[in-house]
């Protein structure tokens, strides 16, 4: 039996911010339709890894391969065309644009028109009511929904989500994760950065733990215990 | 009645200031470039108008269909070859770069066209006027004002209604995230730079028709444009128009009392606004936060 062809494959990534090295030889692969949890302490390199996959951060060495082709040097808009969309940490909406304009901008380089405005509004009724308002006037949960909607508007096959539950009430987080599981059953592949380990392990089928810019653990969720993940998280011993 | 007249003439003059300033406002708002060569580019527009209208033997207005696309192209080329490269070295790098461009333009113009003051052939429009009661309104000043209103409304419409406009505003809000969501920022920057130079050149044609210009006129033009942008508030096109009008009215009304203090009064007004409302009269608090809170993405 051959393993399924990886949708996303990252190998030996070194990434720098000036003289500071944030990632050291990071490798991971994501199978189509899968959900990968990316965990690790603050500063472990999770956001950097997602930004490198999305093309916002150049890789000094290593490669990013997506759907069979090498995209290591491709600019972000080409990656979006191919179906990679990122929901950035801290939402990063365009404050002077309305909710609808934010979503329309997200569709500017879309890979497919799988998510027209009507479908987005049907999936997120909460933002449909606010479509004409400036994004900066929305509550945190609504803004997060808009950030996800903006990424969906690009019609992605691979959705990268960076700390979507940060600063939100538990009930809202619950709702967002329900939306994500809906996306998965619709065929999307997810990579989720999440601080809440329990939630990450519930929502995903595989897990990558980063420690100080290196992969400390990469395994299917079913085959690791919470304690093993915690050990990798804090770098206690080598599994 | 002379005071009413002064206010009206001042408003019309203010339209011209706004026309000069809108490109400066747009470039700063979108690319965070303070373009110190903006006034000189406007003067280049006037010289180009002079060359073309002399060559074809027509009033300068008829050369605009050729002049404006050339100016737009110059803006695109400057962005690609100069501003874009400078911006890679941080937000301050374009300041010396555009200052150097300004010095080069002024000196090249002196070599190529001498320091003699020139005027443009405005045809019949330049001298025509009409009367409302005892007030005389120059068609040329009115045309400059209406052109400014049309350009500003057109830009505002483009910015608020089109996909291009949404991309421009998104890029202006947050460059890093704009790239991340798939906006190709280079074409956005290039078109904005093109529009900035085209509007500057159009303003330059009006400057050259209303008065005279020489190779060093650009510095004064820049100062007035800069003041109109700051008084009105950065990032607000309508604010720029109001800023220009306030300046124009101040200049003509004070000039009515004593011509020697006209320009001084405008500069004092600028200082007063800068002291009381450093963000300008029409800047949203959002925009002020944006500008003050600029930093590396977290």
Q: What is the pLDDT of residues B281-295, one digit of tens each?
A: 876 555 555 555 443
Tens digits of per-residue pLDDT, B216-271?
999 999 999 999 988 888 777 888 899 999 999 999 999 999 989 999 999 999 99
What whole-number distance in Å separates Cα of residue A189 and Cα of residue A82? 13
Residue B282: what pLDDT?
76
Copy the structure tokens of residue A217: 């653990």
Nearest to A17 by CA among A213, A170, A150, A202: A213
Tens digits of per-residue pLDDT, A185-198? 888 999 999 988 88
Terminal-residue alpha carbon distance, chain B: 59
According to DSSP, the residues that pair with A84 across neighbouring strands are A158
- Tell me: pLDDT of A3 over 60: no
What are the C-alpha distances in Å from B172 to residues A96, A147, A219, B29, B31? 9, 18, 42, 6, 7
Query: What does the alpha-carbon distance between residue A135 and residue A131 come to, in Å, rounded to a whole number?
Result: 9
Tokens (6 digits) for A83: 């179906």
Tokens of A79: 């990656």
The per-residue DSSP string of B159-175 comes to HHHSHHHHHHHHHHH-H
CA distance B163 to B157: 11
Helices and strands in chain A: count of H runs, count of E runs: 9, 10
* Residue of chain A nearest B168, judged by CA positions: A105
Q: Is residue B86 exposed (0-12), middle (13-18) or buried (19+ Cβ within 10 Å)?
A: buried
Cβ within 8 Å, pair B167-A108: yes
B195: left (phi over 0), alpha (psi -120 to 50) or beta: alpha
| C-beta of residue B51 within 8 angstroms of C-beta of residue B208 | no
CB contact under 8 A, B286 and A88: no
- Which H or E element spans position B157? helix B139-161
| CB-based burial label for B119 (10 Å; 0-12, 13-18, 19+) | middle
Cβ–Cβ contact A117 with B under 8 A: no
CA dihedral B280, B284, B289, B291 (to 10 degrees): -50
Task: Tell me, letter by letter, the H, E, C secondary structure of A8-20.
Answer: EEEEEEEEEECCE
Interface test with B, best of A48, A106, A108, A109 (most B CBs within 10 A): A108
Question: What residues does A35 pair with on adjacent strands?
Answer: A190
Please report the pLDDT score of residue B246 as a whole number. 93
The pLDDT assigned to B8 comes to: 92
Q: How is residue A10 written in tokens?
A: 């990252």
Judged by CB atoms closer than 8 Å, whether chains meet at B286 and A94 is answered as: no
Average pLDDT, stretch A161-170? 88
Nearest to A96 among B163, B173, B179 (CB): B173
Res. A121: pLDDT tops 80: yes
pLDDT at B105: 97
Contact of B125 with chain A, judged by CB distance below 8 Å, is answered with no
B136 membership: H or E segment, kind and range: strand B135-138
pLDDT of residue B298: 31
Angstrom distance (rounded) from CA A227 to CA A175: 27
**What is the overall mean pLDDT for chain B?**
90
In whole angstroms, give the CA distance from residue A97 to residue B173: 9
CA distance A238 to chain B (A): 31
Rounded CA-CA distance A213/B296 in Å is 20
Q: Which residues of B touch A108 (CB under 8 A)?
A: 163, 166-167, 181-183
Which pLDDT value is given to residue A238? 54
**Which residue from B163, B172, B181, B208 is spatially nearest to B52, judged by alpha carbons?**
B208
User: Distance between CA atoms of B147 and B207, rounded to whole angstroms?
Assistant: 13
Nearest CA in chain A to B175: A94
The CA distance from A121 to the nearest CA of chain B, in Å, is 19
pLDDT at A148 over 60: yes
Q: Is B138 helix (H, G, I), strand (E, B) or coil?
A: strand
Give the per-residue pLDDT at B188: 94
Q: What is the pLDDT of residues B14-60, one digit of tens each?
A: 999 999 999 998 888 888 888 999 999 999 999 999 999 999 999 99
> Which ipTM value was assigned to this complex?
0.88
Q: Which two tokens stand for residue B215?
A: 């190779």
DSSP helix/strand/coil, A208: strand
- pLDDT band at residue A239 using 50, 70 and 90 as cut-offs: very low
CB-based contact (8 Å) between B262 and chain A? no
Q: In Å, how far are B29, B229, B237, B238, B252 from B241, measured between CA atoms?
A: 15, 9, 7, 5, 16
Cα separation values, A108 from A56, B47, B166, Å? 17, 40, 10
Specify whether the CB–CB gap between B90 and B36 falls below 8 A.
Answer: no
CA distance B181 to A28: 23
Measured CA to CA in angstroms, residue A56 lies from A185, A199, A215, B104, B169 at distances of 28, 27, 21, 36, 20
Q: Are B201 and B22 in contact (CB under 8 A)?
A: no
- Out of A145-149, A156-160, A204-208, B70-74, the most confident range is B70-74
A77 touches chain B (CB under 8 A): yes
């Amino acid at each position: 039996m051959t393993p399924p062809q990886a949708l996303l494959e990252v190998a030996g990534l070194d990434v720098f911010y000036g003289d500071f090295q944030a990632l050291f030889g990071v490798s991971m692969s994501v199978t189509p339709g899968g959900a990968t949890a990316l965990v690790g302490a603050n500063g472990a390199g999770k956001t950097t890894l997602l930004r490198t996959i999305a093309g916002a951060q150049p890789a000094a060495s290593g490669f990013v391969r997506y759907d069979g082709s090498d995209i290591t040097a491709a600019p972000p808009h080409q990656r979006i065309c191919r179906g990679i969309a990122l929901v950035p940490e801290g939402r990063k909406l365009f404050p002077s644009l309305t909710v609808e304009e934010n979503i329309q901008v997200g569709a500017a380089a879309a890979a497919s028109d799988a998510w027209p405005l009507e479908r987005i509004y049907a999936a997120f009724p909460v933002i449909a009511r606010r479509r004409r308002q400036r994004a900066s006037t929305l509550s945190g949960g609504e803004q997060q929904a808009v950030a996800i909607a903006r990424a969906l508007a690009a019609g992605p096959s691979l959705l990268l989500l960076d700390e979507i539950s940060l600063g939100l009430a538990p009930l809202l987080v619950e709702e967002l994760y329900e939306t994500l599981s809906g996306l998965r059953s619709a065929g999307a592949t997810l990579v989720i950065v999440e601080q809440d380990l329990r939630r990450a392990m519930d929502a995903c089928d595989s897990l990558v733990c980063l420690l100080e810019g290196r992969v400390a653990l990469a395994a299917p969720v079913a085959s690791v215990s919470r304690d093993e993940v915690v050990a990798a998280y804090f770098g206690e011993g080598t599994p | 009645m002379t005071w009413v007249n002064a206010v009206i003439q001042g408003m019309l003059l203010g339209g011209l200031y706004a026309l000069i300033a809108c490109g400066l406002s747009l470039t700063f708002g979108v690319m965070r470039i303070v373009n110190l060569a903006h006034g000189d580019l406007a003067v280049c527009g006037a010289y180009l108008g002079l060359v073309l209208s002399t060559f074809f033997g027509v009033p300068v207005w008829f050369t605009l269909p050729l002049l404006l696309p050339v100016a737009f192209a110059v803006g695109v080329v400057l962005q690609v070859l100069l501003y874009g490269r400078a911006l890679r070295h941080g937000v301050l790098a374009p300041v010396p770069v555009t200052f150097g461009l300004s010095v080069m333009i002024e000196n090249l113009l002196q070599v190529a066209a001498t320091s003699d003051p020139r005027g443009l052939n405005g045809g019949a429009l330049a001298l025509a006027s009409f009367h409302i009661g005892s007030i005389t309104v120059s068609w040329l000043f009115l045309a400059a004002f209406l052109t400014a209103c049309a350009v500003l409304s057109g830009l505002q419409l483009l910015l608020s209604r089109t996909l291009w406009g949404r991309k421009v505003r998104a890029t202006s809000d947050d460059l890093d995230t704009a790239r991340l969501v798939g906006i190709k920022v280079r074409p956005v920057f290039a078109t904005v730079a093109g529009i900035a130079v085209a509007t500057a050149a159009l303003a330059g044609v009006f400057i050259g028709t209303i008065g005279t210009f020489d190779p060093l006129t650009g510095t004064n033009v820049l100062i007035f444009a800069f003041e109109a942008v700051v008084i009105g508030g950065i990032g607000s096109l309508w604010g720029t128009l109001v800023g220009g009008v306030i300046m124009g009215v101040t200049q003509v009304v004070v000039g009515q009392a004593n011509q020697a203090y006209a320009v001084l009064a405008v500069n004092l007004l600028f200082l007063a606004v800068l002291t009381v409302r450093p963000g300008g009269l029409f800047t949203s608090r959002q925009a002020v936060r944006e500008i003050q809170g600029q930093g590396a993405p977290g």
